[in-house]
Structure 1
Amino acid sequence: MSAASHGATPYYFVPGPSRHPIMAAIGLFFVILGAGQWINGHGWGAYSLLFGLLWWAFVLKQWFGDAIRESEGGLYGRRIDVSYRWSMSWFIFSEVMFFAAFFGALFWARVFAVPTLGSLDNAILWPDFKAVWPSVVPGATASPAGTVEAFSTMGPWPIPTINTALLLSSGVTLTIAHHALVAGERGKTIFWMWLTVLLGIVFLGFQAYEYHHAYSELNLKLTSGIYGSTFFMLTGFHGFHVLVGMLMLLFITIRLMKGHFTKDRHFGFEGAAWYWHFVDVVWLGLYVIVYWM
């Protein structure tokens, strides 16, 4: 019998010992190992990465399933709700610092590293280098030693601008869904949530096409100097966060269709919404700094 059926909620629910943390850590180990080896030219790294992702997804499905059953069983009271809110807040803060590191790398390269390489002190070592960003101008090269192939930069039109409109629109549809949930209009909430998920999927499709265009037509790759590495690290990690956010919203939508959440108790919905709005804000920074500047 659940706590809900007894009409009582624990003062503070403490779950029993769980295998999920160590199992998730094992999956992440293979993810990091595989990614590191794959990017350094070892083909088996791709299989390790895939195995780790599948393992990780399986563990998270079980872990989140337990949390959902506990929540729907009436075991989560106000104090658990507060702890979840603080946990999600600190998680998003860690993500802010994560992206701040890559934005900081881009800032340092443009403002300090490139000008220093083009200074008089380095003129003898790099006589052909021009201190301009992204070092793709007539008569200049991003790699005086010839280790970086010529490439073209990615402009803001049309795909990045279309994706900006998609993400901003998804933020609006998600907010409408939230207001509908608070008003007790479950059918309306589900409709706007499905639309939000669809906008996220379309965004990912456009980004995949943009990457194909970059590699096949612009010769812009992860190995294209500091521009290529910062471009793909920032946009790639953001795309991964869009994928994660879209999956979060998808599962929240499925839970809504199963009758989960009420107008007064729906932090699972709110936590996913916080994450999605964070992804929107990061993209606005990327759109301005990476594509326009």
Structure 2
Amino acid sequence: MSLVRRHPFHIVDPSPWPLTTAFGAFCLTAGSVMYMHAYTGGGTIALIGLATILYSMYTWCRDIVRESTFQGNHTMAVQTGIRYGMLLFILSEVVFFAAFFWGFFHSSLSPTIEIGAVWPPKGIETLNPWEVPFLNTVILLLSGATVTWSHHAMIHGNRTQSILGLVFTVILAITFTGFQVFEYMDASFRISDGIYGTTFYMSTGFHGFHVFVGTCFLAVCLIREIKHHFTTKHHVGFEAAAWYWHFVDVVWLFLFVSIYWWGGA
């Protein structure tokens, strides 16, 4: 005899993916630290962690799509809870990046004698903010416009325009990442070059990681839109991806103004 559910909420089935994601995050963090300090095997551990996270992301997203699209478990009450959860997650990310900005301004507004009492520190050849950084700013702002275009098209039931907007967004995101990698390869300083290198690579590097995660998020939404998973009323997964991407845009604007432009002058 089956039980009748008398509430609109979804009782989630037991899942191994939170555990595997945590294990992957631990390996990625520990391996990255080992790699940065030239310990043997650090890079391998970091790659194992990254692969574990990517696999967990795929399988976890697969289960969520199955629960929402095919089993109908994401009622309006569940969607509201997901939206609140995403907003709280973005708030935690704001605090996360605030720590890096705090460290940057703490060191740049009152540079110590150990770095020559000047900012940027002596011996650091900073990047020109009006070359690759400004180009990446334009690319990221344009991607914010295309994802908004896709969202409005989805709300009005225009699948062709929605898919086109998402395709442009993913292409722009990949282009941004490519230019970021080129910039890192061209830079004359590394993360080990004092407080400037540390704050620069930690803040821009973590932003780049968020761009990578957001690109995966949007690519999944693109595939789901092609497969008719979204409707004009039910597309909370795409809303979460769009909110996350706009957050990435705003963080980059602060990075460009504070670290590239003001901090590199």
State TM-score, norm by structure 2.
0.93
Q: Which of 1 and 2 has higher RCO (CA within 8 Å, sep 6+)?
A: 2
The alpha carbon displacement at 1:130 in A equals 3.6
Pick one of 168, 178, 183 that aligns with 1:210. 183
Distance between the aligned counterparts of 2:177 and 2:240, measured in 1? 21
Match of 1:162 in 2: 135
The alpha carbon displacement at 1:16 in A equals 2.0
Pick one of 126, 135, 144 that aligns with 2:121. 135
Distance between the aligned counterparts of 1:265 and 1:223, measured in 2? 47
The alpha carbon displacement at 1:9 in A equals 9.9
Write out aligned runs for 1:242-253 (5 A): 242-253=211-222
Match of 1:184 in 2: 157
Distance between the aligned counterparts of 2:6 and 2:241, measured in 1? 24
Q: What RMSD, in angstroms, separates the aligned Cα atoms of the two structures?
A: 1.5
Distance between the aligned counterparts of 2:192 and 2:34, measured in 1? 16
Pair 1:25 & 2:22 matched: yes
Match of 1:36 in 2: 33
Say if 1:227 and 1:84 are closer, same or farther in 2 by CA, change over 3 A: same
Matched residue pairs, number? 257
The alpha carbon displacement at 1:10 in A equals 5.9
Q: Percentage identity across aligned positions?
A: 42
Match of 2:66 in 1: 69
Distance between the aligned counterparts of 1:226 and 1:163, measured in 2? 24
Match of 2:107 in 1: 109
Q: Tell whether the 8 Å contact from 1:37 to 1:45 is kept in structure 2 after alignment.
A: yes
Pick one of 175, 184, 189 that aligns with 1:220. 189
AA matched with 1:65: R
The alpha carbon displacement at 1:38 in A equals 1.2
Q: Tell whether the 8 Å contact from 2:8 to 2:78 is kept in structure 1 after alignment.
A: no
The superposition leaves residues 222-264 of structure 1 with CA deviations (integer Å, 9 ceiling, x where unpaired) of 1111111111111111111111111111110010000011011
The alpha carbon displacement at 1:153 in A equals 0.8
Q: Tell whether the 8 Å contact from 1:9 to 1:74 is kept in structure 2 after alignment.
A: no
Match of 1:122 in 2: none
Name structure 2 gaps, 5 residues minimum: none
Distance between the aligned counterparts of 1:32 and 1:233, measured in 2? 13
Distance between the aligned counterparts of 1:64 and 1:97, measured in 2? 26
Match of 1:123 in 2: none
AA matched with 1:170: S
DSSP-derived class of the 1:135 partner:
coil
Pair 1:91 & 2:95 matched: no
State TM-score, norm by structure 1.
0.84
AA matched with 1:213: D
The alpha carbon displacement at 1:37 in A equals 1.2
The alpha carbon displacement at 1:205 in A equals 0.7
The superposition leaves residues 254-284 of structure 1 with CA deviations (integer Å, 9 ceiling, x where unpaired) of 1000001101111100000000000000000
Q: Tell whether the 8 Å contact from 2:24 to 2:52 is kept in structure 1 after alignment.
A: yes
AA matched with 2:117: A
Match of 2:43 in 1: 46
Distance between the aligned counterparts of 1:43 and 1:187, measured in 2? 50
The alpha carbon displacement at 1:23 in A equals 1.9
Q: Tell whether the 8 Å contact from 1:163 to 1:206 is kept in structure 2 after alignment.
A: yes
Q: Tell whether the 8 Å contact from 2:27 to 2:46 is kept in structure 1 after alignment.
A: yes
Write out aligned runs for 1:226-237 (5 A): 226-237=195-206
Q: Tell whether the 8 Å contact from 2:28 to 2:49 is kept in structure 1 after alignment.
A: yes
Match of 2:98 in 1: 100
Distance between the aligned counterparts of 1:70 and 1:280, measured in 2? 30
